[in-house]
Chain A
Amino acid sequence: MPEGIKNKVAIIGMGCTKFGELWDKSAEDLMVDAFKEALEDAGIEKKDIQAAWQGNQFTEVNIGHSAIPLANALKLPYIPVTHVENLCASGTEALRGACYAIASGACDIALALGVEKVKDIGFGGLPRNNEDLMVLGTKGRVIFPNWVNPNPGMFAMMAIRYFERYGLSLEEGKETLAKISVKSHHNGSLNPKAHLRREITVENVLNAPMIASPLGLFDSCGVSDGSAAAILVRADMAKSFRPDPVYIKTLQVAAESGESLMYTDYDYTHVETTHRAATKAYQEAGIKNPREEISMMEVHDCFSITELVTYEDLMISPRGKAKEDIDAGFFELDGKIPCQPDGGLKCFGHPIGASGLRMLYEMYKQLQGKAEKRQIKNPRLGLTHNLGGQPPLSVCSVCVVGL
């Protein structure tokens, strides 16, 4: 086990735009908005930034290739800027680039910024006909089903398997999933930056139109535009910028090797990459018992079933027992480990490149006691989790931050 990056890097400033269908904002506007807030929060100047990472997936929809869009929008002064893309983990990949650069000593102050301007495509859902969604590249076009978007169906199949394996009837299963969405909508209603801010009921969820059976509209996250940014520094410098910096305890990524898709051992009731990334993350952070030690989480709830299996893959709930925790309110804002205190992807929508840093923003604010109506009592460790791709072909990031 390598030494890792625990407590080597600190966050001293963050920014996050309102997420939503931001018809009047360009991607450049969003980048500037998130950056401006982060700079003010950190109390530094633009010229202090020595390197930057830009997380964005659908470059062809809006910003174009390379990292020049970030350098250009923010007028960064001839510093190294890198574009990273790793599906839904793109925002956290930007963070990882910045963390590793600082931990290595290559720079002292770095920016990680995620942005996605999806709504310019002019139709609902995510862009298609691009190789990003087809994880096997253009070959996927001819051998995968005629997807517009593979995600709803591929996650729906995990729900079918999960219900089958743990003996939940379709009604029981759907109701369990509904509670996850109801909880997130409650939290989102308290958050002025969320896209969807309406409370919903279990009945609303169960009666909503079908997306990919058994997942309905309220089992699925929205599609929105947004941006979030973090300014990172060497840990030993952090207190000179502010009294309450937040430290990176771990950041791990795991990508699927193909065995979940093509090898028949995979049970399709969990996501292997989450389990693997979490295992390594807990080792790096020195977490022995996540259920006792993690204070709060922002997980990748692209669909309700994703959040449910993530509880188990992160080893918070025992295998097959997530329902008991859900029924007991374990993940609610006043529960033992509040999950999605900001409303999650469910209420923020999912501007791909921005989501990972949006999650981090909530953990950062919570740790600093600045989460207003959503404030969790004395949080110590916050976990963020991103899952790109689909359960059998995914890439996962797990990050833990704390004071």
Chain B
Amino acid sequence: MAVAAGIDCLKGADRAGVDGLYFASTTFPYRERESAAIVATALDLSPSIRTADFADSLKAGTGAIVSACDSVKAEGAKSILVCGSDSRLGKPGSSQEMAFGDGAAALLLGSNGVIASLEGWYSTSYDFSDYRRSEDDKFVRAAEDRFIREEGYARFIPEAILGLLRKYKLEAKDFAKVAYPCLNLRQHAAIGRRLGFQPEQVQEPLFTAIGESGAASPLVLLVAMLEEAKPGDNILLVGYGNGAEALFFKVTEEIEKVRDRERLKKSLALKRELTSYEKYLAFRGIIPLEVGVGGEVAPTQLPLTWRERKVILALYGSKCKRCGTPQYPPQRICVNPECGAVDEMEDYSFSDKRGVLFSYTADHVASSIDPPLLYGMIDFDGGGRFVFELTDCERDSLKVGMPVEMSLRRKYLDELRGIHGYFWKATPVRE
């Protein structure tokens, strides 16, 4: 999700100019192994950049934004991509299971072409145990909901907002929009009222559309506010978690130049309903599935995945400089039988190329958490062909010639050896 948000954010931007990637989440795949570096590789960013994971608190999202701004202001970096992504798991039957929702958003922070400038912030920090997971917890543990509501959200959010207003000598009416989370919608409205915000100033928290999206939530809400913002607007964003962090942005004229300011709305409109709870449990690895001996995961060869990291994570192929044929995976000798040039290749990324479905099948003997396994031959626009898994689609919707695009997904989870394997799958183009 972080990679998908990052790709969307960087469309039209100069990737070579990005010199940092900060990634916020409470649900990184690894305890030790940086996820920001995985995302940076998938986004094909230069290795000469600074990467960091912001973890362990719902406040990690705003923490990453503030740290990125600090880096830019201190001229330690020209632009930093901040990704927030979370996939928190509530125990089956718990209210957290119902309330949590996965989401991701990405922001590019820098000093040129600024659409909203971070004018100031106010942070608090408390060792408040509302949610927690310890070393071996799969599910988020929560304290009593009334306790979280009264002592958490209803205390920390006003405290941060009032602190910011005092610090910068502002009033509630100075803001076009304010966004803050709170799982209880009535409490959410009450917080705004208490602080003197009119209902139209308060950003809809998207709980009913997405759910509580954890560390990604403030980034998602900021995007929601920016999609509606006008030049000159002041907007206020609060990240909640172990205290709270209030961020104050001023929207500039540049906002008018932003391409396609309906990305969030469009993403929400693309939803597909999963009506089977059993499938949800299977997808989340909550119930053990029989994969059969044939479905066991083969060992991942780490020297190979390191050597081929761009081929795997950034979907790099090669393009023949002599005949112009793109090919995946990269070849040293051109695959075009009329050419056959040796070592005349340049790097060529397929991850941002669309294609069409040349053929497809639904494989019932493959091992899949969502059988049958769908895959097909993809002909890329501009050339190149390879076989990829298909996802976000139904078997009966597949047609020869159907337009597809590429999406980085988890390919396998090797629980025995603690490896999360990621690779690209093709999805129908949905707009």
Contact = CB atoms under 8 A, between A and B. Distances in A.
A128 interface: yes
Given A123-B293, A145-B366, A156 B337 contact: no
A210 B364 contact: yes
Contact of A257 (B337, B364, B366): B337
B375 interface: yes
B298 A161 contact: no
A139 interface: yes
A143 B350 CA distance: 13
Contacts of B327: 262-263
Nearest to A209: B364
A72 interface: no
A142 interface: yes
A160 B336 contact: no
A160 B388 contact: no
Given A142-B421, A258-B331, A259-B336, A148 B294 contact: yes
Interface string B52-86: 00000000000000000000000000000000000
Given A141-B298, A157-B360, A212-B365, A258 B335 contact: yes
Q: How large is the interface on B (under 10, 10 to 19, 20 to 34, 35 or more residues)?
A: 35 or more
A387 to B, nearest CB: 18
A149 B375 CA distance: 13
Contacts of A213: 361-362, 364, 372, 395
A266 B377 CA distance: 11
Given A142-B423, A146-B368, A160-B400, 4 more contacts: A143-B329, A156-B363, A210-B372, A213-B395
B329 A142 contact: no
B289 to A, nearest CB: 13
Nearest to A151: B365
Q: Which 5 A-B pairs have the closest CB atoms?
A: A157-B359, A148-B294, A156-B361, A153-B363, A145-B375
B325 interface: yes
28 contacts: A128-B298, A138-B301, A139-B304, A139-B308, A141-B298, A141-B300, A142-B423, A143-B423, A144-B387, A145-B363, A145-B375, A146-B412, A147-B373, A148-B365, A153-B366, A160-B360, A161-B359, A211-B363, A211-B364, A212-B363, A212-B364, A212-B365, A213-B364, A257-B337, A259-B335, A264-B358, A264-B379, A268-B358
Interface string B385-425: 11111000001000010000000000110000000010100
A154 interface: yes
B305 A212 contact: no
Contacts of A124: 294
A136 interface: yes
B329 A139 contact: yes
Nearest to B424: A143
A122 interface: yes
A154 B375 CA distance: 9
Contacts of B368: 146
A160 B327 CA distance: 23
**Most chain A beta carbons < 10 A, residue from B308, B361, B386, B395:** B361
A172 interface: no
A148 B298 contact: no
Nearest to A268: B359
A148 B367 contact: yes
Contact of B388 (A145, A209, A261, A264): A145
Contacts of B116: none
A40 interface: no
Contact of A154 (B328, B384, B387, B412): B387
A43 interface: no
A152 B365 contact: yes
Contacts of A148: 292, 294-295, 365-367
A124 B365 CA distance: 10
A158 interface: yes
B296 interface: yes
A171 interface: no
Contact of A261 (B298, B367, B375, B386): B386
Contacts of A158: 359
B104 interface: no
A266 B364 CA distance: 26
**Most chain A beta carbons < 10 A, residue from B337, B359, B383:** B359
**Most chain B beta carbons < 10 A, residue from A123, A153, A266, A268:** A153
A259 to B, nearest CB: 5
Interface in B271-298: 292-296, 298
Contacts of B367: 146, 148
A143 B335 contact: no
Contacts of B372: 210, 212-213
